[in-house]
Amino acid sequence: MPNRCIKEGDNPDLTKERKTCTFDTDELTANLYGSRNNMERRREITKKISADPDFADPIPHDFLSREKCIEATAKKTKAVVQRGSEFCDVTNYYEMLHLINEAIGIGGYPLALHYGMFLPALEGQAEKELTDDIIPRAKNLEVIGAYAQTEMGHGTNLRELETTATYDKATQEFIINTPTRSAMKWWPGNLGKMSNYAVVTCQLFIDGRKIGPHNFLVQLRCEKTHEPLPGIIVGDIGPKMAFDTNDNGFLALDNIRVPRKNMLMKHAKVSPDGVYTPPMHAKLNYGTMVYVRAHMLYAHGQFLATAAIVATRYSAVRRQGRIEHGVPEVQILDYQTQQHRIFPQIARAYAIIFTYMDIKDQYDAMIKGIAEGQTDLLPDLHAITSGLKSVVTHMAGLGIEQCRMACGGHGYSDASGLPKLYGVQIGGCTYEGENMVMLQQTARYLMKAVASALQGKPLSHSVAYFGKKSSGKSRIGKEGGDIAREHEAMLEALEHAACRLSVEASQMWEKRGRGGETKERAWNGVTVEMNRAARVHTRVFMARSFHRRVTSSPPSIRPVLTDLLSLYLHYECVDMAHHLLEDGFCSGEQIRYLKSRLYEDLTTLRPNAVSLVDSFDQSDRELNSVLGRRDGNVYEALYQWARKSELNYTDVLPAVQKYVMPMMEENRSKL
Ligand SMILES: CCCCC/C=C/C(=O)SCCNC(=O)CCNC(=O)[C@H](O)C(C)(C)COP(=O)(O)OP(=O)(O)OC[C@H]1O[C@@H](n2cnc3c(N)ncnc32)[C@H](O)[C@@H]1OP(=O)(O)O
Ligand SMILES: Cc1cc2nc3c(=O)[nH]c(=O)nc-3n(C[C@H](O)[C@H](O)[C@H](O)COP(=O)(O)OP(=O)(O)OC[C@H]3O[C@@H](n4cnc5c(N)ncnc54)[C@H](O)[C@@H]3O)c2cc1C
């Protein structure tokens, strides 16, 4: 069967891998990106960008200072903006996403938060009077915006943000102020140097009464000179773990006045005479975060895919050691430990992207509902996206790090692209709500589901399985080799575990309450258990999504996806074996069975491993990895990459000349 990546001049080991493919890689790629047309469009964008001198990087960013990287990125951003329609349909979210990845990369660019949060916040939360004015200008990039919510002292607990917006009835303006050092906005992307506007989250005060966090549009810099306006202090927060080309910023506002219409008033409103009308759902003001959490899944699935591509291809071309005496050195991909390290990451990347597709459909349905005045889909979506955001970012981070280590010494080099990828990706565990905090949002929802299930009340989408009657004993290993039934048995076992953990966490919470603790204090005494239940529930959701996508996939790719799903489910069940064993739902014998099936899966997937990662269809530009390159010609490329290091511009470094040589000379003369 065809793997469409084979080309003359490629590393022979990689070609050999591609020849053992049992499916059509293009079919799988098309399935992953929604259609053959979408796949072709991605490729056209890649081809055009790769040939365009405006996007060439004579010196890799790895060897440049942060300022030089920002300059190079800003130059490319301008080219994307001015020439974007030469490359793609600029109104298509996925085409634009691909264009930006290809043209600019993943480390941040001047418009990341403008498109990622500033515009979505205005579109989702602002009223016509404001949007009519600002959105056309923002879309036309006459202005650039950031989303300034987090402060130096508070990020997680929005209720305690300190920035104030006080309504002045006399002038019909809000006065926006930063009352303390810890109230300074701190972290917002592109706030430091690029943006001249921001959506700023402030505590709303009317007639001395604190209403709570609301969003306001604030101009920060002069549209002509880009200098900060009077009363505004703004700058870059300094070097970070990654996102070097994003100017995450600080901001202090000294009693800045903005007109009443600058409050984002689609949901909550303040009338000219200062009467406050709450939104139809209390948390509609937090809608931008739900949007970002949902869409983060796609990016993090792709991040994990990148790492899996690099580690798999490199493991196919690297030969080291022998499995048996007297035979040539083997491809390191033949080691069972290497497969066990990498293959689950391939499966998880697919699972995350497939889950995203489900969530995207739910998100679109919720937005449609809100437009029609219905908010009933919001709580379920908020709960599951909070869990998914946390589980997926953590899972992808662990997976990338496994892939990096699986590349040995070269994985530690920036040439692999993996250290930088990890730095960028792992930020997702923190931003959009720290993971431990967001899991508690999911757990809170699970506690309500437990109560509803016990009372026989209806259960919403993500927790519907709480209503199923458990069989008491798992059917794992008792399905006589029927794969479909085996998959169902594993899903059932995971659902049983999630449900049991939720019920037990609920009982522990209740027990502490009966012991005299307040509900809130009791909650803090059981949060580890709550978050555990939330994680398992989220992993059930992902497993169901993956299963649904595989069982409805075209027959040509269903066999390979079924193999991948088998590996995913066996891995998930073994990884969560303690939860399956704890109440005797599964026996030790069943866990041993799952492990043996997992090792069989590794062998089954081996001939298709390279083709499965090829099907992610990430180009060499996107991968940005010497180790992961499509042609597999790694060693020469590694040497050429290292030659570009600024330390190699001269044979004798000035620092050596100035300090090290005189030191050696002095030491010699002492003898
Ligand atoms: C390329 C890289 C880009 C990176 C960009 C990064 C951007 C950012 O990071 S922007 C800043 C993001 N900040 C956060 O995510 C802050 C996290 N904190 C929160 O979201 C909230 O403070 C909270 C959800 C953790 C708690 O909010 P609070 O108001 O205190 O609410 P409660 O916990 O008491 O819950 C009350 C009630 O409301 C429900 N709920 C909470 N949030 C939402 C929501 N977004 N949508 C719908 N419903 C929500 C919650 O479930 C409770 O429901 P009930 O149990 O029914 O009362
Ligand atoms: C790369 C990056 C980009 C960002 N971009 C933006 C942006 O564009 N706009 C913006 O506004 N912000 C942005 N942020 C800020 C980000 O949203 C916050 O840092 C994040 O929400 C976490 O909040 P915090 O920093 O207050 O963490 P903290 O809440 O201080 O977390 C510290 C520790 O306390 C624990 N903790 C806190 N509260 C609880 C609780 N209730 N229960 C249990 N444990 C708790 C956490 O789990 C964590 O272990 C960005 C951050 C990063 C890293």
DSSP 322-353: -SSTTSPPPBGGGSHHHHHHHHHHHHHHHHHH
Q: Which residue among 432, 495, 529, 572 is the active-site one?
A: 432
Decide: 108 and 193 in contact? Cβ < 8 Å.
Answer: no
Atom of ligand 1 lying closest to residue 158 CA: 22
pLDDT at 305: 98
Cα 146 to Cα 125: distance, rounded to the nearest angstrom: 15
ipTM of the complex as predicted? 0.98
For tokens 């739902």, name the residue: 585
Give one DSSP letter per residue of 383-422, joined into a string.
Answer: HHHHHHHHHHHHHHHHHHHHHHHHTHHHHHSGGGSHHHHH
**Helix, strand, coil shares of the chain as percentages rounded to 5?**
60, 10, 30
pLDDT at 5: 87
Whether 433 lines ligand 2, by a CB cut-off of 6 Å, is yes
Angle between helix 66-87 and 36-50 (nearest 10): 130
Side-chain-facing half-sphere of 547: CA atoms under 13 Å? 20
CA of 3 to the centre of ligand 2 (A): 43
Decide: 44 and 86 in contact? Cβ < 8 Å.
Answer: no
pLDDT at 465: 96
Angle between helix 435-454 and 527-551 (nearest 10): 80
- Ligand 2, atom 2: nearest CA belongs to which residue? 431
Cα 219 to Cα 86: distance, rounded to the nearest angstrom: 32
Q: What are the binding residues for FAD?
A: 150, 189
Whether 160 lines ligand 2, by a CB cut-off of 6 Å, is no
Residue 415: which residues within 8 A CB-CB, separation 6 or more?
62, 625, 626, 627, 638, 641, 642
Cα 401 to Cα 420: distance, rounded to the nearest angstrom: 11
pLDDT at 471: 82
For the domain made up of 283-632, give the CATH fold: Butyryl-CoA Dehydrogenase, subunit A; domain 3 (1.20.140)
Atom of ligand 1 lying closest to residue 437 CA: 25
Whether 189 lines ligand 2, by a CB cut-off of 6 Å, is yes
Whether 449 lines ligand 1, by a CB cut-off of 6 Å, is no
CA of 436 to the centre of ligand 1 (A): 12
Give Rg (Cα) of the chain.
Answer: 27
Residue 354: which residues within 8 A CB-CB, separation 6 or more?
545, 546, 549, 550
pLDDT at 491: 98
pLDDT at 34: 95
Whether 237 lines ligand 2, by a CB cut-off of 6 Å, is no
Closest to 617 in 3D by CA, of 89, 44, 55, 1: 44
Token digits for 667?
A: 């030491």
Cα 648 to Cα 51: distance, rounded to the nearest angstrom: 28
Per-10-residue mean pLDDT of the chain, 671 residues long, equals: 88 97 97 97 97 93 93 97 95 95 96 97 95 96 98 97 98 98 98 98 98 97 98 98 97 98 96 96 88 96 98 98 94 98 98 97 94 92 97 98 98 98 98 98 98 95 93 92 95 98 98 97 98 98 98 97 98 98 98 98 98 98 97 97 94 97 95 72
CA of 390 to the centre of ligand 1 (A): 13
Are both 123-277 and 283-632 of the same fold? no
Q: What are the binding residues?
A: 150, 189
SS3 category, 214: strand
Cα 184 to Cα 150: distance, rounded to the nearest angstrom: 9
Decide: 362 and 462 in contact? Cβ < 8 Å.
Answer: no
Atom of ligand 2 lying closest to residue 440 CA: 42
504 catalytic per annotation: no
Domain ranges of the chain: 123-277, 283-632
CA-to-CA separations, 61 to 345, 505, 630, 639, in angstroms, rounded: 27, 48, 20, 17
Q: How far is CA 127 from the centre of its chain?
A: 30
Mutate to test the pocket of ligand 2, among 118, 151, 187, 520 (most ligand atoms within 8 A of CB): 187
CA of 436 to the centre of ligand 2 (A): 10
CA of 15 to the centre of ligand 2 (A): 45
Whether 428 lines ligand 1, by a CB cut-off of 6 Å, is no
Q: State the amino acid at position 413 in one-letter form.
A: S
Ligand with an atom nearest the CA of residue 426 = 2
CA-to-CA separations, 433 to 30, 386, 400, 426, in angstroms, rounded: 33, 8, 21, 13
Q: State the amino acid at position 133 in one-letter form.
A: D
CATH architecture of 123-277: Beta Barrel (2.40)
> Phi/psi zone of residue 141: left (φ > 0), alpha (ψ -120 to 50 degrees), beta?
left
Whether 356 lines ligand 2, by a CB cut-off of 6 Å, is no
pLDDT at 670: 87
Decide: 400 and 422 in contact? Cβ < 8 Å.
Answer: yes
